[in-house]
Structure 1
Amino acid sequence: MNAAQQRGWMKFTALGIGLFGPLFSLGTVPALAEPARWSLDLLAWPLDGAQDYAADTTRFLTAITGGFLLGWGVMVWGLATRLHPLAPEPVRRIILAGLLAWFMLDSAGSIASGHAANAGFNIIVLLILVGPLWWPAREG
């Protein structure tokens, strides 16, 4: 993968992260919460309807999480489009470090909270979002 292709993957990663922000933020509005509720139910496998957004604290935490995800996605997009052309290897390492940090803490917290299935989902998401970013871009 060359540097231009790597930037394209970074943009894909940015969208993969950032689009979860608005999805989860919908959970703050009871009339629009179903996509967020379903996503949370999926991540807390099995799909059993046990997850809901009835508690104010859940909606509040979802608003914060949605904001962080959108902001993180925007940051990765900016790194890919504005800084990567100038410093491709440091940018790749920064994005990879952020993804690995998310993976480790999210998975550990999921397991500790009794939702180990989410750690399994996290492996899939990590592999998709990192993709070829594991390796430096080749010249050319």
Structure 2
Amino acid sequence: MQSTIPKGWIRWMNIVCGLFILYGLALVVMPAQVQDVQGAIYYNWPLGEDAYSQLTSIEHNYHIFLYGVIGGVLIGWSVLIIAVVNGPLQNGYRWAWQALVLSLVTWFVTDTLISLATGMTINGLFNLVSAVAFAIPLFALRPYMAS
């Protein structure tokens, strides 16, 4: 393991995870407000103007439930990434780098495929931005990982 791992990339990933934790908390703590903004974007953009307002109260409640679940998963995943980044990855363990890359690729492919298959291309764009935010530091750190 090399001791000269650039700390800037570690900080970068901590900041990205921090933003995901804040977003996850918003999904859990204020799902109705997030739903008003995000729902309008997700429904009105691909389905036509004002499609979001046509959802029933049962559909709105189900979305709030899903936001809570997604928020909890996002928080948990981000906490785990922070632990791996600030421990084994920062210490140059290649397995940590590989685990992060595999986890992110698995998430990106599955989430983006279902997003595109259901016409939610805006979520695919969000996924792309998120994946790039992690890919840049991970690929910059790859040469520093022990074999």
Q: TM-score range by the shorter chain?
A: 0.7 to 0.9
- How far apart, CA to CA, are the structure 2 residues paired with 1:123 and 1:90? 24
What percentage of residue pairs aligned between the two structures are identical? 19
Q: How many residues align?
A: 135
- Counterpart for residue 7 of structure 2: 4
- What is aligned with 2:85? 80
The Cα of 1:68 is off from its aligned counterpart by 0.2
Report the more deviating stretch, 98-107 or 34-43.
34-43
Gaps of 5+ in 2: none
1:117 to 97, 122, 135: 122
Q: RMSD of the alignment, in Å?
A: 2.8
SS of the residue aligned with 1:114? coil
Residue number in structure 2 paired with 1:37: 36
Question: Partner of 1:132 in structure 2?
Answer: 137
Secondary structure (helix, strand or coil) at the match of 1:101 reads: helix
TM-score of the pair, normalised by structure 1: 0.76
CA 1:125/1:114 → structure 2, altered by over 3 Å: closer, same or farther? same
CA contact (8 A) 1:25 1:67 kept: yes
Q: Which amino acid aligns with 2:36?
A: R
Give the Cα separation in 1 of the matches to 2:96 and 2:44: 34
Shift in Å, 1:92: 2.1
Spell out, residue by residue over 1:10-33, the C-alpha distance to the aligned partner (whole angstroms, 9 max, x if none): 2123223322211211344xxxx2
Shift of 1:45: 6.3
Normalising by structure 2, we get a TM-score of: 0.73
Which moves more between the two structures, 62-71 or 85-94?
A: 85-94
Deviation for aligned residue 1:114:
1.7
The offset of 1:74, in angstroms, is 0.7
In 2, distance between residues paired with 1:132 and 1:85? 12
Q: Which amino acid aligns with 1:125?
A: S
**1:45–1:108 distance in 2 versus 1, CA, 3 Å:** farther
The alpha-carbon deviation at position 56 of structure 1 amounts to 2.2
How far did residue 96 of structure 1 move?
1.9
2:75 to 53, 70, 73: 70
Alignment partner of 1:22 is 2:22: no
Does the Cα contact within 8 Å between 1:99 and 1:126 map onto a contact in 2? yes
Per mean C-alpha deviation after superposition, the further-off stretch among 50-59 and 115-124 is 50-59
SS at match of 1:19: helix
Q: What is the CA–CA distance in structure 1 between the aligned matches of 2:28 and 2:37, rounded to whole Å?
A: 13
